[in-house]
Amino acid sequence: LMPSEHADKHDQYLANYRRTGIKHVINSTRQVSARKKNGDTFPAEILVRQFKCSGENMFIGVIKPLMKALHFQAIAARNKNIQEMNIDGMLSIDLQGTIQTANDAVCKMFEFSMEELIGENVKLLMPIEISQNHDDYLSRYLETRKRAMIGTIRRSRGQRKSGKIFQLEAKVEEVNTDPPVYIGYLRDVSLLAQLENQHKMSDAITKLSITPVIILDSKGIILTFSQAAEKLFGYTREQVVSKNVKILMPPQIASQHDDYLSTYMETGVKHVIGSSRNVEGKAKDGTPLPLNLFVEEVIHVNRGTTFVAFVTDLALIKKSEADTFLYSEIDRQSPNGTITATPDGTIISANPKTLSMFAYDSLDQLKGKNLTMLMPKQYADHHPETLATYARTRIKKAIDSTRCVTGLRSDRMTFPIELRVCEIENGDDTFFLGFLKDQTREQQLEVTNGVNQMAMRVSAEAVILINEYGLIQQFSPAAEKA
């Protein structure tokens, strides 16, 4: 029953034991190699016992074939190696959610040591909003056997030992052992989620950018066409995506564009890329468009090369420059004052009339300083709190209304002002625009008029005031009597 290498020595083993009585094999379990009738060998576990029968020593051997056991051991060792070498996290839990095994990837992912994980509930690896429902999910599954997560891949969140929450991809499988075991496969996708978010943000920025943006592949095929590009060229996104960018060029330029692209891809010599230049484009209706073009090359590891083109409408810039000059001149020549300030009251700009009104020589004396420098102390002390209250409540008291206030000149003299404040939003920026009118002259006229009115009322002589058309404007009491 033994391979020849053992059978040849067996008689000698027995003779030595009978002579010495020293037990090497008897009463111990050991693995041996056994031989079948056909000569094939197989692993076996053998336990040998000695007993006496009719005064004679006898031996009984209990043999257990190990082929299946060793096979399973080999599978277990292989699976352990796979688990340990896997770059993704793998762990197993029992019916109560207790962690039975975990590989190094899980330990690194969650920043725990193996000793800190084994025997702990898997909720240790979950943020509170998920962990507080996990026991209920397990118990419901054991009662209903309805699978909500098992066998599916889904996005979830994990919690590291440091408390940091991160995005992960999880798949759970049930192993039909007795009792059942659940194997979890985990992948840290926090970087992937970050890249996906950046991609979404990039798409949103491109879509909403006020500058027309066009993205091309290395063949000149349009991949992305922003809303601003739609407005500029007159095409919808659907009409141009997957078409060659030559559709946006006049014929004399379009005919050379493919050759330029192929030459650049072969030689890498840049003529347009990385620089800004003025070109001519073509709208959907054939209208020529004066444009400024800036092209940047983006090289992707797995997607090859793309080109991002930023397009500026030169006609719009010229109109904007003209409008800016016009508005600047209107503001500069205005007989009334204008002043702009940030939400905290910092002065941004003031026109010449404002400088003259407050007796300052240049804008540098005001720019960057607070509006309170133009107010008497009794108003300046409360102004920051007024701005803070508005920022908090958005309740308008002074904004969008006209009122009379008191100003403070650089010589510390006060004077009356008619003030109207508007709130202006420019993208993400907000500022206040104030329109100022010096009321000193009007106030003086009111005082003079009041004095004249009083004089007319007490005068013994009749006084009648008429305009150039002979219409009576004032009629004194003495005139009434007369």
- Determine what percent of the chain is predicted with pLDDT higher than 70: 86
**Separation in Å, CA 87 to CA 83, 152, 460:** 9, 20, 110
Question: Is the model's pLDDT at 72 over the cut of 60?
Answer: no
CA angle (219, 223, 224) in 5-degree steps: 140
Cis peptide before 179 (omega within 30 of 0): yes
* Residue 126 three-state SS: coil
| Mean pLDDT value across residues 292-310 | 78
| Higher pLDDT pick, 99 / 149 | 99
Per-residue pLDDT at 365: 95
Strands (E), 78-180: 89-93, 99-102, 153-159, 165-175
| Mean pLDDT value across residues 359-375 | 94
**Separation in Å, CA 60 to CA 27, 50, 51:** 10, 6, 8
Nearest in space to 313 (alpha carbons), one of 392, 210, 382: 210
pLDDT in tens, 130-152: 999 888 888 888 888 887 778 88
| Higher pLDDT pick, 106 / 426 | 106
Nearest in space to 91 (alpha carbons), one of 69, 71, 120: 120
Q: What is the pLDDT confidence band of residue 326, given thresholds at 50, 70 and 90? A: very low
Alpha helices in 21-103 (DSSP H): 67-85
Which H, E and C letters describe 352-376, residue by residue?
Answer: HHHHHHCCCCCHHHCCCCEHHHHCC
pLDDT in tens, 380-438: 999 999 999 999 998 988 888 888 999 999 999 999 999 988 888 866 778 898 889 99
Tokens representing residue 146 in the block:
């309805």
| Mean pLDDT value across residues 440-462 | 75
Burial of 313 (0-12, 13-18, 19+ CB in 10 A): buried
Mean pLDDT (the chain, rounded)? 84
**Cα separation, 2 vs 235, whole angstroms:** 88
CA torsion through residues 451, 457, 462, 466, sign: positive
Question: Is the model's pLDDT at 82 over the cut of 60?
Answer: no
Specify the pTM. 0.36
50 with 26: CB under 8 angstroms? yes
- Determine what percent of the chain is predicted with pLDDT higher than 90: 32
| Higher pLDDT pick, 369 / 449 | 369
Q: What is the pLDDT confidence band of residue 364, given thresholds at 50, 70 and 90? A: very high
